[in-house]
Amino acid sequence: MENQVGVERSFVFALLVVVGGAAAVVASFLPWVWVDSPEIPSAGIQNGAGWVALVCAGLVVVHGVVAIRAHPADQRAIFTSAFACAAGIWLVGILVIIDPWMFLGLEGPCCMLMDALVQPALYVTLAGGIIAGLASLAGALARRSVM
């Protein structure tokens, strides 16, 4: 009975990893930063940070799918690796929030005259990474009884 509960719990954690990663993948394609200037397009996947988040989110989804199918003895390593990929999503998102101009590849005094607005898609990307990260952490720390 206890083994069945552990397997069901691991399945839920893996499913949450997939859902969080999928949300981050979708949001990676949407604009993250908007600038009120016709010369500067709204930025999303066109920039390097968007690609990094997309790759990390894709890896999170793959880890979640593999964790669903994996033997309970192997799940701890899979969840730990998924957590590392989710941390990559967090790092990219936080860096963009701190300095959106760096994300756009712009620097200098002209940037101080325009506002760069962080769009909801960036927060969805971060939320997906947080969901996937917490679920993978819970999956890695879950007690397992292997038969």
Model confidence, pTM:
0.81
CATH of domain 2-141: 1.20.140
Distance (Å, rounded) from C-alpha 84 to C-alpha 102? 24
- Helix axis angle for 120-141 and 48-69, nearest 10°, is 30
* Predicted confidence (pLDDT) at residue 109 exceeds the cutoff of 80: no
Contact 75, 67 (CB under 8 A): yes
Residues sharing a CB contact under 8 Å with residue 114, sequence separation 6 or more, in sequence order = 35, 36, 37, 40
Mean per-residue pLDDT over the chain, rounded: 81
**Which letter does DSSP use for residue 119 in this model?**
P
The domain ranges of the chain are 2-141
Name the band, by pLDDT with cuts 50, 70 and 90, for residue 55.
very high
pLDDT digits (tens, 9 = 90+) for 110-125: 555 566 677 888 899 9
pLDDT digits (tens, 9 = 90+) for 79-104: 999 999 999 999 988 888 887 766 66
**Which letter does DSSP use for residue 109 in this model?**
G
Name the band, by pLDDT with cuts 50, 70 and 90, for residue 71.
confident
Can you give the pLDDT at residue 1? 45
